[in-house]
Amino acid sequence: MGIPVHYLEIERIYAATLSSGVRTLAVTSACGGEGSTSLCRALARRAALDGLRTLLVDFDLHHHGLSERPLPWTPDAPPTPLLQEERLSLMPAPSQILLPFRRREAIEGLLSGWLNDYDVVLVDTSPLNAVNHGNLPAEQICALCEACVMVVLCGVTPAHQVEAAVARLRTREAKLLGCVYNDRHTPALRDQVLAALAPWRRWLPLRWLEGWLRRTPLLNVSF
């Protein structure tokens, strides 16, 4: 199940990126499994709902989560994107020899051509720290887009991995608008407070306090 496009978090990210005039946006992460593909898809659907002709590009060759299967294509002969829903199309991941895609001019040409047909282009990249011969350099794709955002899985991704990923982006002078923190494995503040109170239930009448904590709006906000 994807991220619902009506979520307030998606609206805030959309407002800071595509709704602010960014036409080519890369969505990346430090490591695999952090949620960058889900975010990329949600932003693309949000843009399409806003009336923008939107192209979603799968350059995540680490697991090509957007494509049912990669297609054999090259930068010199890209296929017609696949229509996913109204105003939203998908360019599947390439399955051909990847060397041509590693040329800066090739990616620049693709982005320029796509912008002739679409209002916005979102690119799902491989993880920045997934360096092997089977991936396209995520930092290069991020640098060739107008801007990028990086997804970080809270409580899972080590700080040194995030720092290494940011360093790669800085080396290529990519415009990092910010990090999106995925709190999938992080308990809500309310739950953390309730867990801290649990050992005292034997000695203190905490039922009223626990009820108040569950009703307090500030502790029930999703961040």
Please tell me which residue, 33 or 183, carries the higher pLDDT value: 33
Number of domains in the chain: 2
Q: CA 69, CA 59: separation in Å to the nearest integer?
A: 12
Q: CA 141, CA 121: separation in Å to the nearest integer?
A: 12
Closest to 83 in 3D by CA, of 124, 53, 125, 127: 53
Q: Which pLDDT score is estimated for 198?
A: 65
Burial class of 73 by CB neighbour count within 10 A (0 to 12, 13 to 18, 19+): middle
Is 214 inside any structural domain?
Answer: yes
Q: Which pLDDT score is estimated for 209?
A: 61
Please give the residue range of the domain that contains residue 60: 8-182
167, 215: one domain: no
**pTM to 2 decimal places:** 0.82
Is 177 inside any structural domain?
Answer: yes
103, 44: one domain: yes
Q: What is the pairing mode between strands 147-153 and 120-125?
A: unpaired
Q: Which pLDDT score is estimated for 218?
A: 43
Q: Which pLDDT score is estimated for 65?
A: 81
List helix spans (H) across the chain: 8-16, 36-49, 104-117, 138-144, 159-171, 189-197, 207-215
